[in-house]
Chains A and B, each alone.
Chain A
């Protein structure tokens, strides 16, 4: 939309100056964001790229930075990612189907449920850590295990998955449902055979994006005890550390070498998250239909 064709241009110099200053400020706002992103990536890569090697991928952490690796942490993060998808997708999609297809909007408890989910999406992640510490680690005595970490991250990303799945389900046109009903399908047959297949690309994209966000989380894992020295590969009910926690551990050491190691681990973490995000975007572009 262009309002200022040549002859309509303001000829008052003051107005033009204000316009230029304002435009400069707006451009600077965006440049600030992109410049920071650029500086961050350059800083991480320049410091860390030399240390992204087989030692990092195949060795356990060590007090000697030269032989320290992040194998247990990398494997645990992949393990957590698989568990997150397994836990969040059924729960999140189930909740989304309930809210979009079954719930009566007029009922107070369904409206409360909606506000509740919106609010949960904005609860600080450390609070989920406290929940995990109080209930899972100490309360039911699960201990500081990978499963506890996966469960807490599940609760953390669940609202995001629900919101994404609801949008995908809402985007399926009503005519598809009506058509199926007209052929005699029951409600569940409509949902399972028509609505869900049509909404799958949107749900997959949203779930993968939410998972990648969950895998980058550090604070809740600190409280469920991921900040430990682990030299063995992760198991479901064993102690664990995750890649972001390992990065935090290395960043907080004073020695320069550990900072370099942290930068190398950040490259690996960003690589994992970038792969997940790229997959999500690919699925969206490849399979998403517009009605």
Chain B
């Protein structure tokens, strides 16, 4: 070995013999593509917060965050965002009651009970639910679910938080099921085998071994689904109503933050008017809420990936 090394005349030069400008240009172009995503985020922040700050020069931020009446067009106007936030949360809670238990149930079935063939058929079929446009779900809530709720004797009107929330919950079911199932699939088989060897039933293995081991991914799926529910527009715009309503009764019609933005932004609001700025104030509130939830969810997903992969 030593002789051979000594025989080598000089170390091989592995660098390119000349600088290739084309390669550098390519790298810059690719980095510019990536920059579009950064610019989008910056654009969103600027587009939301600059008019929102102007809005808060005219309206006290304390009144905005604690007021219980939202009537920007009344004289005198009042800008309490709480009815819109409450409407959003009411619909979100209704959706969570559907998508969290049944999404998790679907995930456990796919991960712990179904054999490989069944899973390969069922999972893409479930994903179809997530691929249907939200405007179609809005139509479905209004023309199918609301009349059925009336049939079973619930005193709901044409618009209700319940109808919109239930449909949204089914729409989000695959989100919860899919991410939870991924994290359950990442749980090592040894853990299950060990529990079975000690005489556990399948229920015990699912609930006492797999769920705790996959908990960060499961919670991430819940957080992501809730964030989607908060940001969802079309279902609530069509089926939940158009009047801000300071209530906790899911049978009533409510307006959510997203529905307010869509209803105000689709018209011919004069640029610079206080009404125009409300879009951005409510939009900024919505963005902050979903942003925090998304970061939590991203963090949690990364954690389960780190633990078992």
Residue positions of A touching B, CB distance < 8 A: 1, 3-4, 10, 15, 18-19, 22-23, 25-30, 32-34, 36-37, 39-40, 43-44, 47, 90-95, 97-99, 102-103, 113, 115-120, 122-131, 133-135, 138-139, 155, 158-159, 162, 186-188, 212-213, 216-219, 222-223, 225, 227, 244, 247-248, 251-252, 259, 262-263, 266, 269-270, 273, 277
Contact = CB atoms under 8 A, between A and B. Distances in A.
Nearest to A117: B37
B250 interface: no
A37 to B, nearest CB: 6
14 contacts: A26-B106, A29-B105, A98-B27, A116-B37, A117-B37, A118-B294, A119-B295, A124-B230, A127-B283, A130-B47, A217-B133, A219-B234, A219-B262, A247-B139
B286 interface: yes
Contact of B37 (A1, A125, A162, A262): A162
A40 B138 CA distance: 11
Given A95-B36, A266-B139, A126 B106 contact: no
Contacts of B125: 34
Interface string B126-154: 10110111111111101110000000000
Interface of B: 16, 20, 22-23, 26-27, 29-34, 36-38, 40-41, 43-44, 47-48, 51, 98, 101-106, 108-110, 113, 122, 125-126, 128-129, 131-140, 142-144, 167, 170, 173-174, 177, 189, 192, 196, 201-203, 205-207, 224, 227-228, 230-234, 237-238, 258, 261-262, 265-266, 271, 279-280, 283, 286-287, 290-291, 294-295, 297-298
A3 B231 contact: no
A180 to B, nearest CB: 14
A91 B29 CA distance: 10
B37 A113 contact: yes
A79 to B, nearest CB: 17
B151 to A, nearest CB: 13
A223 B37 contact: no
Given A28-B102, A130-B279, A223-B265, A119 B41 contact: yes
Contact of A133 (B279, B290, B294): B279
A248 B16 CA distance: 59
Given A28-B105, A116-B37, 11 more contacts: A3-B196, A3-B202, A4-B201, A4-B202, A94-B32, A113-B34, A119-B295, A127-B231, A130-B265, A218-B233, A223-B266
B233 A219 contact: yes
B273 to A, nearest CB: 12
A26 B40 contact: no
A93 B33 CA distance: 8
A14 to B, nearest CB: 11
B277 to A, nearest CB: 11
A43 B135 contact: no
- For the complex of A and B, list the 6 residue pairs with the smallest distance between their C-beta atoms, beginning with the closest: A124-B231, A94-B33, A216-B133, A29-B105, A219-B233, A134-B47
A94 B33 CA distance: 6
B139 to A, nearest CB: 5
Contact of A134 (B51, B129, B228, B291): B51
Contacts of A99: 34
A1 B116 CA distance: 9
Contacts of A91: 33, 36
Q: Say what secondary structure dominates the interface of chain B.
A: helix
Nearest to A9: B201
Given A131-B47, A188-B26, A251-B138, A115 B298 contact: yes
A124 B129 contact: no
A19 B37 contact: no
A122 B227 contact: yes
A23 B22 contact: no
Contacts of A25: 105
A129 B29 contact: no
Nearest to B287: A127
A270 B136 contact: yes
Contacts of B291: 119, 123
Nearest to B264: A223
A269 B133 contact: yes
For A3, A4, A26, A222, the residue with the greatest tally of chain B CB atoms inside 10 Å of its CB is A26
Contacts of B109: 26-27, 29-30
A186 B23 contact: yes
Given A30-B106, A159-B37, A248 B202 contact: no
B173 A33 contact: yes
A205 to B, nearest CB: 13
A56 B286 CA distance: 37
B170 A125 contact: no
Contact of B108 (A26, A262, A266): A26
